[in-house]
Amino acid sequence: MDIFFAELIGTMLMVLLGNGAVANVLLTDSKGQNSGWIVITAGWGFAVAVAVYAVGWISGGHLNPAVTLGFCCIGKTSWGLLPFYVAGQMMGAFLGATLVWLVYFPHFKKTVNADLKLLCFSTKPVIRKPFWNFVCELIATAVLLVGILGIFNAHNGIASGVGPYAVGILIFSIGLSLGGQTGYAINPARDLGPRLAYALLPIAGKGSPDWGYSLVPLLAPLIGGVLGALLYQAYT
């Protein structure tokens, strides 16, 4: 249960700060409105670093089913713990998204564009080409796993103390380099939990949660996470 609650709190904190940055950039009359992609990617990088610092000492700070599944496939996490990790991550993401809605409640009401409201919860591609959107998310998540495993490899000597900060830099880098097509979910919980919150919450003027696209940020990161973990294991 320690793992479940740690992943719930950590993922909630990550989504609150990450999607909070998105809301700050996209919603009408926020202080950060129109401040751009750099702010969003930096916000997500800092969000992940803070969340891993907060709970990493308890659960490892996976905060992402793709990370947990990848770790299980290479023997770094027990398969028996997978349900506890994923349940905590999904619930935490839902709660984090709900908190973003509460923080920016007046701005959600004032924002007219329903697509911008959805983007404060979940991802949406700029060019909707499901195959290429899938490829993008798969590659980006594979890079995520290779990067995480490299950062916490004992040979680098940075895991203690600096490791979570380095993961934040990794998230920032992936967003800057690979996030322009899909908005880089690279995390099934980060997309599905908030998308479900968007569907259920009484958000003023909201549109469709776009369930038709939701399989891409759900499945591609899971496959990419496994491939990234296996690739790292193969060459180390």
Q: Tell me the per-residue pLDDT of 131-150, one tens digit each, with 9 for 90 and over.
A: 999 999 999 999 999 999 99
**pLDDT value of residue 53:** 96
**pLDDT value of residue 122:** 98
Whole-number Cα distances in Å, 38 to 62, 71, 103, 170, 182: 24, 30, 22, 14, 15
Domain span including residue 206: 2-235
- Looking up residue 62, the CATH number of its domain turns out to be 1.20.1080.10
Residue with tokens 């959107």: 133
**pLDDT value of residue 154:** 82
**pLDDT value of residue 72:** 98
Q: Tell me the per-residue pLDDT of 168-218, one tens digit each, with 9 for 90 and over.
A: 999 999 999 999 999 999 999 999 999 999 999 999 999 999 999 999 999
Residue 159 has pLDDT above 80, yes or no: no
As given in the structure block, the two tokens for residue 138 are 């798969």
Q: Determine if the pTM surpasses 0.75.
A: yes
**pLDDT value of residue 106:** 97
Number of domains in the chain: 1
